[in-house]
């Protein structure tokens, strides 16, 4: 007799949205995402668009320090990370996130990506930079590409 795996529920998201990560094989479900942005409205919209496609938001964070704590707790497969945030920015948090979760992909989602050197991004462990001026659908398409290559 198979034992059902319980849902692990995350009710502490800053935007108040209900998110969850299921305790089952990663091959059997959507890819899990940690959404990190200091703007509640951007976080909310990212959560909506991820949920509408084949991603499951397991947690949200408003800065890099919170992202590190949530990453340890939820072990996401993808982190969408803003560059400029209070407390700790994305480029400062990325190397620590990569150290904790070396196989996790990190997308730096920012308005300021053109000012960053490729060497700095690589050294920080950033997988890809996506501009906030692009559509959210473009972000999702690029995120999907990270898992299908």
This prediction has a pTM of: 0.80
Give yes or no for a contact between 13 and 59, defined as CB atoms under 8 angstroms apart.
yes
Q: Is residue 59 part of a domain?
A: yes
For residues 36 and 121, give the distance between their C-alpha atoms in angstroms, rounded to a whole number. Answer: 17
The boundaries of the domain holding residue 64 are 28-147
CA distances from 132 to 28, 88, 111 (A): 31, 19, 5
For residues 138 and 141, give the distance between their C-alpha atoms in angstroms, rounded to a whole number. Answer: 5
| Domain CATH number, residue 91 | 3.40.50.2300
Q: How many domains does the chain have?
A: 1
User: Which ranges constitute the DSSP H helices of the chain?
Assistant: 40-52, 64-74, 90-100, 118-124, 136-147
What would the two tokens of residue 62 be? 């408003």
pLDDT per residue over 2-28, tens digit each? 433 333 334 444 444 434 444 444 444
Q: Is residue 41 part of a domain?
A: yes
Give yes or no for a contact between 110 and 132, defined as CB atoms under 8 angstroms apart.
yes
Q: Which of 41-45, 76-80, 133-137 has the lowest mean pLDDT?
A: 133-137
pLDDT per residue over 79-119, tens digit each? 999 999 999 999 999 999 999 999 999 999 988 766 778 88
Q: Is residue 139 part of a domain?
A: yes
Q: Is residue 72 part of a domain?
A: yes
| pLDDT at residue number 8 | 36
| pLDDT at residue number 114 | 66
Per-residue pLDDT, averaged over 22-51, amounts to 82
User: Which one-letter DSSP state was computed for residue 125?
Assistant: T
| pLDDT at residue number 42 | 95
- Those residues with Cβ within 8 angstroms of residue 29's Cβ, 6 or more apart along the chain or in another chain: 22, 56
């Amino acid at each position: 007799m198979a034992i059902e795996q319980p849902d692990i529920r995350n009710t502490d998201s800053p935007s108040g949205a209900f998110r969850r990560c299921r305790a089952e094989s990663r091959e059997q479900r959507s890819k899990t995402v940690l959404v990190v942005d200091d703007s509640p409205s951007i976080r909310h919209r990212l959560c909506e668009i991820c949920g509408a496609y084949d991603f499951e938001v397991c947690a949200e964070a408003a800065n890099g320090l919170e992202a590190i704590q949530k990453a340890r707790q939820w072990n996401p497969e993808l982190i969408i990370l803003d560059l400029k945030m209070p407390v700790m920015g994305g480029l400062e948090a990325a190397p620590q996130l990569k150290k904790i979760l070396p196989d996790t992909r990190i997308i730096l989602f920012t308005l300021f990506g053109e000012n960053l050197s490729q060497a700095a991004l690589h050294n920080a462990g950033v997988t890809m930079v996506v501009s906030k001026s692009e559509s959210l659908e473009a972000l999702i398409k690029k995120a999907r590409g990270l898992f299908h290559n």
